[in-house]
């Protein structure tokens, strides 16, 4: 019996999952990764600790399932995107801590790049922001003693976490990434499919340190025999959100998913057309099951489930996240209360880093239930902003929204989402869509699965939420949200 092994290296943990021929998850284990916050707004991780956590999770997963490394047909890798590692190609040692996607240390540099913003967006599909890898790489080269000289001598390599794991897994033989990760660096020609010399020069990153860009679903290399005792093909790579899109069986134009985790990330597959957003969404690569380029538009909300953690940890008005469902359902409306969760500014489509949170519309009748319900509703309203921007960009209404992520288990939220969007919301039976997407890519590349149609057939709905709210109620609620957003951003 052969299995597909998926490595899912997220922001807070490294996970490994094993899938059988029917794409059933037979085992999954995770090991925590450790963030560090050395300065306000800075977020780092130790790349060696990420590697150790990833390998531990693989060993535990294989042990849990009683599967030998030789029984793995192929490995797929998915990863927290944008997080940046620079290492010495001779020693294999990182020369600095990994700079995590959330880290704001290069915000000032991004302000300096503002005059070039239009050219950067035209080439890369991104807005200029510290979120992406390019300025993080330059920061390491400029701030680690001797790094510029070393990189000039060809001694340093850059990688996002996918590249770092592949390099470690192959014993330093393969230095590669895929288009979904490359498209998050601000250094990648989104349409052309390779590193862009103008962007590399503008941001100060030498081409020689960049990984080869290979297809998301292709044979990339083999694990070194000494890593876990077998030479296993590595055959799939995708950044986490694009992997989730694949795991939701969204391989073609017009299909979309929204992930409700710490933040929310909505992606709409746009097929072979390179999207140009008129509504401040990001244009990015989707994971292609072939060598043909595939694209998506993406909306990123920075705070979604994190607002529920704020209710739990800071306001201390809910004991845990799942309780919010019953609390919200205990009342029929918030009575005009809105929370705009701009705790770290607002992402798409506002891109306003100065905005701060607002709780408004309260009366003496407002209590815990209204605040909890307003917090859950804020995820749905923010998602509607993204979906409206996507629909306006594409000129088409979504047929349905596929959902995943921790907060997608909240039935109140999913029903409210369907109501406020006036679009059906569909939750899959397997919520681990990120790991599943990476498995699909590896399985398709190696013939374990024969076609995208075969893989699509594995996707099953757990529950479908149909819109039920009268249009007049929806419109009134939506206009209240727009008013709240105006106040938070004025
Ligand atoms: P990430 O991958 O970003 O770490 P997850 O997909 O694991 O996030 O989801 C965790 C987030 O979802 C947390 O912020 C948590 O507050 C929120 N969450 C989890 N379960 C629920 C729930 N039942 N209702 C509302 N929010 C939830």
Predicted confidence (pLDDT) at residue 343 exceeds the cutoff of 90: no
Q: At what angle do helices 305-313 and 368-394 cross, to 10 degrees?
A: 170
Q: Does residue 177 sit within a domain? A: yes
Protein residue with its CA nearest to atom 1 in ligand 1: 261
Identify the three-state secondary structure at position 286.
Answer: strand
Q: Does residue 267 sit within a domain? A: no
Best residue among 13, 32, 80, 262 to mutate for probing ligand 1's pocket (most ligand atoms within 8 Å of CB) is: 262
Q: What percent of the chain has pLDDT over 70?
A: 100
Distance CA 182, CA 177 (A): 7
Which phi-psi region, left, alpha or beta, contains residue 98 (left: φ > 0; alpha: ψ -120 to 50)?
A: beta
Q: Does residue 236 sit within a domain? A: yes
Question: Distance from the CA of 225 to the center of ligand 1, in angstroms?
Answer: 37
Residue 404 alpha carbon, nearest atom of ligand 1: 6
Residue 406 alpha carbon, nearest atom of ligand 1: 9
pLDDT of residue 1: 67
Predicted confidence (pLDDT) at residue 143 exceeds the cutoff of 80: yes
Across the range 40-54, mean pLDDT stands at: 93
pLDDT of residue 395: 78
For tokens 């989402």, what's the residue? 417
Predicted confidence (pLDDT) at residue 476 exceeds the cutoff of 70: yes
pLDDT of residue 368: 97
Tell me what the pLDDT averaged over the chain comes to: 94
Residue 437 C-beta-side C-alpha neighbours within 13 Å: 30
Residues with CB under 6 A from ligand 1: 10, 12, 261-262, 305-306, 308-309, 321-322, 324-325, 405-407, 409-410
pLDDT of residue 46: 96
pLDDT of residue 357: 92
Across the range 305-322, mean pLDDT stands at: 94
Q: Does residue 24 sit within a domain? A: yes
Across the range 14-22, mean pLDDT stands at: 96
Across the range 18-33, mean pLDDT stands at: 94
- Both tokens of 409, joined, read 């288990």
How many distinct structural domains can be found in the chain?
1
Question: By residue range, what is the domain housing residue 216?
Answer: 3-241
Distance CA 275, CA 183 (A): 13
pLDDT of residue 441: 97
Predicted confidence (pLDDT) at residue 103 exceeds the cutoff of 90: no
- Both tokens of 105, joined, read 């240390």
Predicted confidence (pLDDT) at residue 134 exceeds the cutoff of 90: yes
> CA-based Rg of the chain, rounded to a whole angstrom?
22
Residue range 229-275, pLDDT digits in tens:
889 999 999 999 999 999 999 988 888 999 998 889 999 998 998 98
Q: Does residue 174 sit within a domain? A: yes
Q: Does residue 373 sit within a domain? A: no
Distance CA 76, CA 47 (A): 19
Confidence class of residue 345 from pLDDT cuts 50, 70 and 90? confident
Distance CA 238, CA 466 (A): 31
Q: At what angle do helices 471-489 and 411-421 cross, to 10 degrees?
A: 100
**338-340/358-360 β-pairing:** antiparallel
Residue range 362-404, pLDDT digits in tens:
999 999 999 999 999 999 999 999 999 998 887 778 889 999 9
Question: Distance from the CA of 199 to the center of ligand 1, in angstroms?
Answer: 36
Distance CA 297, CA 300 (A): 10
Question: Distance from the CA of 263 to the center of ligand 1, in angstroms?
Answer: 9
Distance CA 109, CA 401 (A): 37
- Helix then strand then coil, % of the chain, to nearest 5: 40, 25, 40
Q: Does residue 372 sit within a domain? A: no
The residue among 229, 282, 304, 243 whose CA lies nearest residue 434 is: 243
Best residue among 243, 263, 305, 463 to mutate for probing ligand 1's pocket (most ligand atoms within 8 Å of CB) is: 305
Q: Does residue 226 sit within a domain? A: yes
pLDDT of residue 260: 94
The mean-pLDDT minimum among 75-84, 188-197, 347-356 falls in: 347-356
Best residue among 321, 343, 416 to mutate for probing ligand 1's pocket (most ligand atoms within 8 Å of CB) is: 321
Predicted confidence (pLDDT) at residue 466 exceeds the cutoff of 90: yes
For residue 176, give the CATH number of its domain. 3.30.420.40
Predicted confidence (pLDDT) at residue 354 exceeds the cutoff of 80: no
Predicted confidence (pLDDT) at residue 299 exceeds the cutoff of 70: yes
């Amino acid at each position: 019996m052969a299995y597909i092994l998926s490595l899912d290296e997220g922001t807070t943990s490294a996970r490994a999952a094993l899938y059988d021929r029917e794409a059933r998850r037979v085992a999954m284990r995770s090991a925590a990764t450790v963030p560090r916050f050395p300065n306000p707004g800075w977020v780092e991780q130790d790349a060696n600790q990420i590697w150790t956590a990833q390998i531990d999770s693989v060993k535990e997963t294989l042990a849990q399932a009683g599967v030998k490394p030789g029984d793995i047909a192929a490995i797929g890798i998915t990863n927290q995107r944008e997080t940046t590692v620079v290492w010495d190609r001779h020693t294999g040692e990182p020369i600095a801590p990994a700079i995590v996607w959330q880290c704001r240390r290069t915000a000032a540099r991004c302000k300096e790049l503002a005059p070039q913003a239009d050219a950067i967006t035209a080439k890369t599909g991104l807005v200029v922001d510290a979120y992406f890898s390019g300025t993080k790489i330059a920061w390491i080269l400029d701030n680690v003693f001797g790094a510029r000289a070393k990189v000039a001598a060809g001694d340093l390599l850059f990688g996002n976490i996918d590249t770092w794991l592949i390099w470690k897994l192959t014993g330093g033989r393969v230095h590669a990434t895929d288009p979904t990760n490359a498209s998050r660096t601000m250094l990648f020609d989104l349409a052309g499919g390779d590193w862009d010399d103008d962007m590399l020069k503008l941001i100060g990153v030498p081409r020689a340190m960049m990984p080869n860009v290979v297809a998301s679903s292709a044979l990339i290399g083999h694990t070194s025999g000494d890593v876990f005792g077998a030479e296993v093909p590595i055959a799939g790579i995708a950044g986490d959100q694009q992997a989730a899109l694949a795991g939701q069986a969204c391989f073609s134009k017009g299909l979309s998913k929204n992930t409700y985790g710490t933040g929310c990330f909505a992606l709409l597959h746009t097929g072979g057309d390179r999207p140009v957003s008129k509504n401040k969404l990001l244009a990015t690569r989707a994971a292609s099951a072939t060598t043909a380029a595939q694209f998506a538009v993406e909306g990123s909300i920075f705070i979604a489930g994190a607002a529920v953690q704020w209710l739990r940890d800071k306001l201390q008005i809910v004991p845990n996240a799942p309780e919010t469902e019953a609390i919200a359902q205990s009342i029929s409306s918030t009575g005009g209360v809105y929370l705009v969760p701009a705790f770290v500014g607002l992402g798409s489509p506002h891109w306003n880093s100065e905005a701060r949170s607002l709780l408004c519309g309260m009366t003496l009748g407002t209590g815990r239930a209204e605040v909890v319900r307003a917090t859950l509703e804020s995820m749905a309203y923010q998602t509607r902003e993204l979906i409206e921007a996507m629909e306006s960009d594409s000129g088409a209404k979504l047929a349905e929204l596929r959902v995943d992520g921790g907060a997608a288990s909240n039935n109140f939220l999913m029903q409210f989402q369907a109501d406020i969007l006036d679009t059906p919301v569909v939750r899959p039976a397997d919520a681990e869509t990120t790991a599943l997407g990476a498995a699909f890519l590896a399985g398709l590349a190696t013939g374990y699965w024969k076609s995208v149609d075969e893989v699509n057939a594995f996707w099953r709905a757990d529950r479908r939420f149909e819109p039920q709210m009268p249009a007049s109620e929806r419109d009134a609620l939506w206009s209240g949200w727009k008013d709240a957003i105006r106040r938070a951003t004025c």
